[in-house]
């Protein structure tokens, strides 16, 4: 039997193939073809119809445009491809073109080739630096969660949030590294990974039960941290905007919340219908702009209240170990609350240790687990150390938290709005929070829809995907009118349950993390 090979492949692969088949580069005898390996060659219907022994047309790439896939399906010939094969090359080309355009390399090269070695004038040679242009992933834990931690746990909660971030960097590195190392492809050819997979493939089949437990908790946690708490924050911010523009609007907060929930649920449903790739496409457009706008606005508030910064930092460090001395014992703020609320909001923000983020990281085209793990460290730093700290300073420097410590009703969006309002006014302040939360929360909801779906898929297979997503969208509507205190308690509980099997797996697989990390950096030194 013959195998048609359209283009060059690796010598080792060619040798293995040649041991079992006659390799040809033409369609002269299609009746003898058992398989085809295609890169750019055209495979028309006429060839497929004349190849009764053809078992597969393997696409050595992504696009199937040159293959008559309808004819292949008609004759029962599968046409697999290699999703993401060219992603690194495309990404590298995009970066190269970006640098070339910014630095006008074509203009300079043409000038040098023409014999111009003099200085290029500013009028004709203008380029742009790209230093400092970054992309990050953030969610509503950065705004509503942080504000709630300060109100319920006192300024000291900020210190414990920083501590959780330092430990979180190590944890995030480990779980992302393992996610890439032990990932596998699903039926659609997409990379699937996360705690359930590094438990199954890293610890072995006898530990699969632990992966099942994680998946159960993960599928449920998605409704808390990634759904109810997010939509609740959006609804609260929309109500704040409505009240800012019309005081009587507070009488219709339930109706406004319900409408908000329905609108967001419809949007989420439309995105989910497009599959995993659509989720990525939408979130990557939402994140960069919202982060930049929020950081700038927060800095404006902090700079406007620069005189209070020394006192604020003093209250943070003092409150970390003696909260009552800062906020007053009457409100019942204890060291326990400062720690639990600070650590809880830190984990809520950066998701380190939960096992959720590795599910997304596993889909990367990066083959080196350690390189991807380093990205995880940067995520935690930007999320908690930078953005959450800015939110804390807005609330504390502006005085928005004064008089509200221990007040659960103020533990969220209302206090954050009040902080921004001190500089931008009630209307503008509420709009800033509303837009920020809308974008933050919507991207987070979509991300957790993916996490929960992957967990459910691990448990029940692909048949559960659509029912799970339908329930997820219905919960969005219900979460918009849920009680805020209950929302945070549910989220924290589900987070804790989700993290237990993940942390057990990280502890047991820590030797693997150490080994691959040493190998990576040893290779860099060579």
Span 208-239, pLDDT tens digits: 999 999 999 889 888 877 888 788 777 777 77
Q: Is residue 111 part of a domain?
A: no
**519 & 406 share domain:** yes
Q: Is the pLDDT of residue 513 over 90?
A: yes
CATH of the domain at 281: 1.20.1740.10
Residue that finishes a domain, picked among 74, 91, 116: 74
Residues 355 and 249 occupy one common structural domain? yes
pLDDT band with cut points at 50, 70 and 90 for residue 345:
very low
Domain count, the chain: 2
Q: Which domain holds residue 492?
A: 140-525
**Single residue among 74, 102, 122 that ends a domain in this structure:** 74
Per-residue pLDDT at 140 exceeds 50: no
Q: What is the mean pLDDT of residues 351-358?
A: 78
Residue 201 CA, chain-centre distance (Å), reads: 23
Q: Is the pLDDT of residue 343 over 70?
A: no
- Tell me how far apart the alpha carbons of residues 35 and 412 are, in angstroms, rounded to a whole number: 61
pLDDT at 188: 74
Instruction: Work out the average pLDDT over 343-356.
Output: 58
Q: 94 lies in a domain? A: no
Looking at residue 344, its pLDDT comes to 45
- Note whether 412 and 274 are same-domain residues: yes
Stretch 427-452: mean pLDDT = 77
**Is the pLDDT confidence value at 137 over 70?**
no
Residue 97 lies in a domain: no
Among 455, 452, 49, 502, residue whose Cα is nearest residue 272? 452
Query: Is residue 166 domain-shared with residue 64, that is, in the same domain?
Result: no
What CATH number does residue 54 fall under? 3.40.50.720
Query: Cα–Cα distances in Å, from 501 out to 134, 176, 351, 497?
Result: 33, 15, 15, 8
Query: What SS3 state is found at 139?
Result: coil
Verify that 144 and 53 share a domain, yes or no: no
More confident of the two residues 423 and 507? 507
Tokens linked to 108 = 């300079």
CA–CA gap between residue 434 and residue 442 (Å, rounded): 12
Q: Is residue 88 part of a domain?
A: no
Same-domain check for residues 165 and 59: no
> What pLDDT sits at residue 327?
44
Q: Is there a domain that residue 83 lies in?
A: no
Tell me: do 69 and 145 sit in the same domain.
no
| Per-residue pLDDT at 136 exceeds 80 | no
Q: Name 184's bridge partners.
A: 192
How many residues does the structure list for the chain?
Answer: 526
Q: What mean pLDDT is predicted for residues 323-340?
A: 41
Q: Could you say which of 16, 46, 74 is where a domain stops?
A: 74
Question: Above 70 in pLDDT, residue 127?
Answer: no
Q: What is the DSSP letter of 54?
A: -
Q: Are residues 51 and 148 in the same domain?
A: no
Angle of CA points 183, 189, 194, to nearest 5°: 25
Helix axes 309-321, 335-350, angle to 10 degrees: 110
- Please state the rounded mean pLDDT for residues 406-434: 67
> Mean pLDDT, to the nearest integer, of 68-78?
88
Which band of pLDDT confidence, cut at 50, 70 and 90, is reported for residue 199?
very high
Residue 234: the pLDDT is: 79
pLDDT score for 117: 58
Closest CA to 491 of 234, 231, 221: 221
Residues 285 and 390 in one domain: yes
Higher pLDDT, 489 or 278: 489
- Contact in structure between 443 and 435 (CB atoms under 8 Å): no
Residue 502, phi-psi category: left (phi > 0), alpha (psi -120 to 50), beta (remainder): alpha
pLDDT > 70? residue 121: no
Residue 132 covered by a domain: no
SS3 content of the chain, % helix, strand, coil (to 5): 70, 5, 25
Q: Which residue has the tokens 């929360």?
A: 441
Residue 239 domain-assigned?
yes
Asked if residue 68 belongs to a domain, the reply is yes
The answer to whether 183 and 192 have CB atoms below 8 angstroms apart is yes
CA–CA separation, 99 and 106 (whole Å): 11
Do 374 and 464 share a structural domain? yes
Name the pTM for this structure.
0.56
Q: Does one domain contain both 50 and 177? A: no
The pLDDT of residue 213: 92
| 261 within 8 A of 478, measured Cβ to Cβ | yes
Helix (H, G, I), strand (E, B) or coil at 313: helix
> Cα–Cα distance between 95 and 346 in angstroms, integer?
33
Return all residues near 307 (Cβ < 8 A) that are at least 6 apart. Answer: none
Task: Look up tokens 């080792």; give the residue.
Answer: 12
């Amino acid at each position: 039997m013959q195998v048609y090979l359209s283009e060059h492949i690796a010598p080792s692969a060619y040798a293995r193939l040649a041991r079992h088949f006659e390799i040809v580069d033409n369609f002269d005898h299609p009746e003898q073809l058992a398989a085809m390996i295609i890169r750019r060659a055209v495979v028309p219907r006429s060839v497929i119809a004349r190849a009764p022994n053809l078992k597969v047309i393997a696409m050595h790439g992504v696009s199937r445009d040159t293959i008559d896939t309808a004819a292949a399906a008609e004759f029962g010939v599968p046409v697999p491809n290699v999703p993401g094969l060219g992603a690194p090359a495309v990404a590298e080309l995009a970066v190269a073109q970006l640098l070339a355009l910014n630095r006008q390399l074509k203009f300079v090269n043409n000038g040098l080739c023409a014999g111009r070695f003099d200085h290029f004038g500013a009028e004709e040679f203008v380029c742009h630096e790209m230093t400092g242009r970054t992309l990050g992933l953030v969610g509503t834990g950065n705004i509503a969660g942080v504000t709630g931690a300060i109100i319920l746990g006192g300024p000291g909660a900020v210190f414990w949030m920083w501590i959780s971030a330092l430990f979180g960097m190590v944890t995030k590195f480990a779980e992302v590294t393992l996610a890439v190392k032990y990932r596998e492809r699903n039926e659609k050819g997409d990379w699937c990974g996360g705690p359930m997979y590094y438990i199954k493939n890293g610890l072995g089949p006898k530990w699969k039960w632990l992966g099942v437990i994680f998946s159960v908790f993960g599928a449920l946690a998605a409704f808390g941290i990634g759904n109810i708490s997010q939509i609740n924050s959006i609804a609260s911010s929309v109500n704040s905007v409505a009240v800012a523009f019309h005081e009587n609007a507070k009488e219709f907060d339930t109706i406004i919340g319900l409408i908000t929930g329905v609108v967001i649920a419809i949007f989420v449903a439309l995105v989910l219908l497009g599959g995993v790739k659509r989720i990525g496409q939408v979130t990557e457009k939402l994140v960069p702009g919202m982060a930049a706008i929020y950081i700038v606005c927060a800095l404006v508030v902090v700079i406007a209240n620069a005189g209070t910064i020394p006192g604020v930092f003093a209250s943070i460090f003092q409150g970390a170990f003696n909260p009552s001395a800062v906020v007053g014992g009457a409100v019942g703020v204890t060291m326990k609350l400062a720690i639990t609320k600070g650590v809880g909001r830190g984990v809520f923000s950066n998701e380190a240790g939960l096992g959720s983020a590795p599910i997304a990281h596993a889909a990367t085209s990066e083959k080196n687990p350690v390189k991807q793990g380093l990205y995880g460290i940067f995520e935690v730093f930007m999320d908690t150390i930078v953005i959450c700290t800015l939110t804390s300073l807005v609330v504390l420097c502006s005085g928005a938290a004064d008089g509200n410590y221990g007040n659960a009703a103020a533990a969220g969006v209302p206090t954050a709005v009040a902080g921004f309002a001190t500089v931008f006014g009630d209307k503008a302040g509420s709009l800033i929070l509303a837009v920020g939360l809308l974008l933050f929360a919507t991207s987070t909801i979509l991300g957790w829809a993916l996490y929960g779906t992957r967990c459910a898929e691990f448990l029940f297979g692909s048949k559960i995907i659509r029912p799970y997503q339908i329930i997820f969208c219905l919960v969005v509507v219900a979460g918009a009118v849920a009680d805020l205190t209950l929302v945070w308690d549910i989220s924290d509980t589900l987070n804790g349950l989700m993290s237990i099997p993940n942390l057990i797996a990280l502890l047991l697989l820590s030797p693997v993390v150490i080994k691959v990390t040493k190998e990576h950096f040893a290779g860099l030194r060579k």
